[in-house]
């Protein structure tokens, strides 16, 4: 299925139903279809042919998101550009991805103006909501009226930059088959009623965008938030009777800190997805108690979006209704259309319980990295997609991610997995978030260091925290140092950037 086919499928349920809603204004399915057709015609008039790259630089917005379906209808490739990126990073992505058209919001006009002269390949700039600093305005762009010829679904749908937490981002080629596999498994694995209402608080350029696809296929409504605001989020869940939403753990922690949470009616929720980074088991148990038995984990990566493994709401509990505490630290079981194994450095598949790199086979896996055959070959060595995560499968088939391969700490000859230490640190009262990493040490080779973000107004006693962790996981894994920071550096998608933390620590140690 093309991306536009999910829209058309929803329209077949009820073309007059609300499709995209922002504040008090909704676009119906019929209106979004009409707008998508005009966008496709306009792109064709600008010389965009099937396979051409069209970028969108925008905050969450119904008109900008409608462009995704117009791009699909034109047979072009959607290149989502994260509005939180720095200007130079966006310039490099637009150039590396061979983008021809950049559609942008007026709020980002200064950024566009700074980089436009360095983008000779971008022949058309379009401002969706105001006066263009470069290019043409929205009405001028939409003037062409000739419809484009329909295209069979067979090619690349998205070209997406990797998160960039480990270096220069790569371009991931996601096909229509990749996204159809992801959507199918979402519909199979998680609860959906007849007409879901999905609240998009996270950026539509990231996970929140592709999670719209199963909702659209069912004729549901996408309620859009321009930017994260947990108080506004709670209002919308209650008043819009939201059934589905997604948040990374950092936003969930902020939500749990809201004094309005317990007074909000969350009874409409069917599934509250979390993912994009490991979540504290302690905070997850609190979420199950205060938000409800609706939490659903997603584990994936840009190269295999969202659905490598899944932990649906019901699997957070034992058969007797008690919380399945031991299972909460897992990433769930491999999704129905995904094969997951654990591999050593020589390409040998390991037995249950043994730790190694998580490798994947599935139609979920990307077509490759754009114009980067070396990286593509490395990621697909031995005939499996390599995730870069270290983990193991238990006897019940649950996948446990213990670290990123690059983040494993070797201290005193022992392997220390930062995720395990982070879970122990997060259980300490007053800790909102943390990062654990290794720093060079003459005695230990590497010493374990924890950098902690405290709850607002809550002091953290480093010695008490170390004693707490030691009691739970032993002295080898206990941080030798604890630093308390106001906040942790994060990538544009909210992941903690450990290399930046390490640079700052090495600058003061």
CATH number of the domain to which 57 belongs = 3.40.50.980
Q: Does 416 share its domain with 396?
A: no
* Local structure of residue 216 (DSSP, 8 states): H
| Distance separating alpha carbons of residues 199 and 367, to the nearest angstrom | 30
**3-class DSSP state of 371:** coil
Please return the burial class of 481, using the count of CB atoms within 10 Å of its CB with bins 0-12, 13-18 and 19+. middle
- On whether both 319 and 439 belong to a single domain, the answer is no
Residue 13 maps to a domain: no
Q: Quick one: 289 and 350 in the same domain?
A: yes
Which of the listed residues 88, 119, 154 is the one where a domain comes to its end? 154
Q: Quick one: 120 and 211 in the same domain?
A: no
Residues 192 and 317 in one domain: yes
Order of strands, edge to edge, in the sheet holding 244-247? 25-28, 18-22, 221-224, 197-200, 244-247, 271-274, 295-301, 304-311, 333-334
Domain range holding 85? 25-154
Q: Kindly provide the residue ranges of all beta strands, DSSP E only, lying in 267-349, ordered along the sequence.
A: 271-274, 295-301, 304-311, 333-334, 338-343
Q: Which of 491, 181, 189, 217 is nearest to 367 (CA)?
A: 181
The answer on 209 and 328 residing in a single domain is yes
Answer yes or no: do 393 and 426 share one domain.
no
Inside any domain, residue 440: yes
For residues 370 and 235, state if they share a domain: yes
* pLDDT tens, N- to C-terminus, the chain (509 residues): 999 999 999 999 999 999 999 999 999 999 999 999 999 999 999 999 999 999 999 999 999 999 999 999 999 999 999 887 778 889 999 999 999 999 999 999 999 999 999 999 999 999 999 899 899 999 999 998 677 776 665 699 999 998 654 456 789 999 999 999 999 999 999 999 989 999 999 888 877 899 999 999 999 999 999 989 999 999 999 999 999 999 988 899 999 999 999 999 999 999 999 987 778 899 999 999 999 999 999 999 999 999 999 999 999 999 999 999 999 999 999 999 999 999 999 999 999 999 999 999 999 999 999 999 999 999 999 999 999 999 999 999 999 998 877 788 988 777 788 888 999 999 999 999 999 999 988 788 889 999 999 998 899 999 999 999 998 888 889 999 999 999 999 876 677 888 899 889 988 54
The answer to whether residue 244 is domain-embedded is yes
Q: Which of 154, 187, 216 is the last residue of a domain?
A: 154
Q: How many residues does the chain have?
A: 509
64 within some domain: yes
410 pairs with which residues across the strands?
Answer: 415
CA angle, residues 323, 325, 326, in degrees to nearest 5: 140
The CA–CA distances, whole Å, from 16 to 69, 239, 309 equal 18, 21, 35
Does residue 165 form part of some domain? no
Residue 493: per-residue pLDDT: 67
Whether 42 and 111 map to the same domain: the answer is yes
Whether residues 392 and 414 fall in one domain: no
> E strand or H helix at 31, and its extent?
helix 29-45
Three state DSSP letters for 79-140 = EEECCCCCHHHHHHHHHHCCEEEEEECHHHHHHHHHHHHHCCCCCEEEECCCCCCCCEEHHH
Domain count, the chain: 3
Distance CA 1, CA 189 (A): 19
Which of residues 154, 188, 222 is at a domain's end?
Answer: 154
Closest-CA residue to 223 (of 207, 244, 252, 192): 244
Q: Same domain for 330 and 217?
A: yes
- Verify that 274 and 387 share a domain, yes or no: yes
Residue 166 domain-assigned (yes or no): no
Q: What CATH number is given to the structural domain containing 371?
A: 3.40.50.12780
Query: 415-435, pLDDT tens digit by residue?
Result: 788 888 999 999 999 999 999
Q: Which residues, 6+ apart, have CB-to-CB distance to 174 below 8 Å?
A: 156, 157, 158, 159, 160, 305, 366, 367
Q: Is residue 49 part of a domain?
A: yes
Would residue 468 be called left, alpha or beta, if left means φ above 0 and alpha means ψ between -120 and 50 degrees?
alpha
Whether 5 is covered by a domain: the verdict is: no
Which CATH number does the domain housing residue 436 bear? 3.30.300.30
């Amino acid at each position: 299925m093309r991306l536009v086919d999910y829209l058309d499928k929803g329209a077949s349920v009820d073309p007059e139903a609300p499709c995209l809603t922002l504040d008090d204004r909704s676009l119906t399915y019929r209106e979004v279809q009409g707008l998508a057709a005009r966008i496709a015609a306009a792109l064709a008039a600008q010389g965009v042919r099937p396979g051409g790259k069209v970028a969108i630089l925008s905050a969450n917005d119904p008109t900008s998101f409608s462009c995704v379906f117009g791009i699909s209808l034109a047979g072009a490739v959607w290149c989502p550009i994260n509005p939180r990126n720095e200007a130079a990073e966006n310039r490099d992505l637009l150039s590396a991805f061979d983008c021809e058209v950049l559609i942008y919001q007026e709020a980002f006009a200064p950024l566009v103006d700074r980089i436009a002269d360095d983008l000779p390949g971008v022949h058309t700039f379009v401002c969706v909501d105001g006066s263009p600093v470069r290019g043409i305005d929205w009405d001028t762009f939409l003037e062409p009226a000739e419809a484009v010829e329909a295209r069979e679904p067979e090619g690349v749908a998205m070209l997406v930059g990797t998160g960039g937490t480990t270096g220069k981002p790569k371009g991931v080629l996601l096909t229509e088959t990749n996204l159809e596999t992801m959507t199918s498994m979402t519909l199979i694995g998680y609860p959906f009623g007849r007409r879901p209402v999905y609240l998009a608080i996270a950026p539509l350029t990231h996970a929140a965008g592709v999670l719209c696809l199963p909702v659209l296929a069912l004729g549901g409504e996408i309620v859009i938030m321009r930017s994260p605001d947990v108080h506004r989020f709670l209002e919308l869940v209650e008043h819009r009777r939201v059934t589905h939403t997604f948040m990374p753990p950092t936003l969930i922690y902020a939500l749990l800190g809201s004094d309005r949470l317990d007074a909000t009616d969350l009874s409409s929720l069917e599934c509250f997805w979390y993912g994009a980074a490991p979540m504290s088991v302690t905070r997850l148990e609190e979420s199950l108690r205060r938000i409800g038995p609706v939490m659903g984990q997603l584990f994936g990566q840009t190269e295999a979006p969202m659905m490598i493994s899944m932990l649906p709401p019901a699997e957070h509990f034992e058969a007797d209704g008690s919380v399945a505490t031991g299972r909460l630290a897992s990433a769930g079981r491999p999704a129905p259309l995904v094969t997951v194994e654990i591999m050593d450095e020589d390409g040998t598949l390991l037995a249950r319980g043994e730790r190694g790199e998580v490798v994947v086979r599935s139609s979920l896996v990307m077509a490759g990295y754009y114009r980067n055959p070396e990286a593509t070959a490395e990621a697909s060595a031995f005939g499996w997609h390599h995730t870069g995560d270290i983990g193991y499968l238990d006897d019940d088939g649950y996948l446990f991610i213990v670290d990123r391969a690059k983040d494993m700490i070797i201290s005193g000859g022992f392997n220390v997995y930062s995720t395990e230490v982070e879970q122990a640190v997060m259980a300490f009262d007053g800790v909102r978030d943390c990062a654990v990493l290794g720093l060079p040490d003459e005695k230990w080779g590497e010493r374990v260091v924890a950098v902690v973000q405290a709850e607002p107004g809550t002091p953290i006693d480093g010695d008490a925290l170390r004693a707490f962790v030691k009691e739970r996981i032993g002295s080898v894994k206990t941080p030798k140092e604890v630093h308390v920071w106001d906040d942790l550096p994060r990538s544009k998608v909210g992941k903690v950037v450990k290399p930046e933390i390490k640079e700052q620590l090495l600058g003061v140690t």
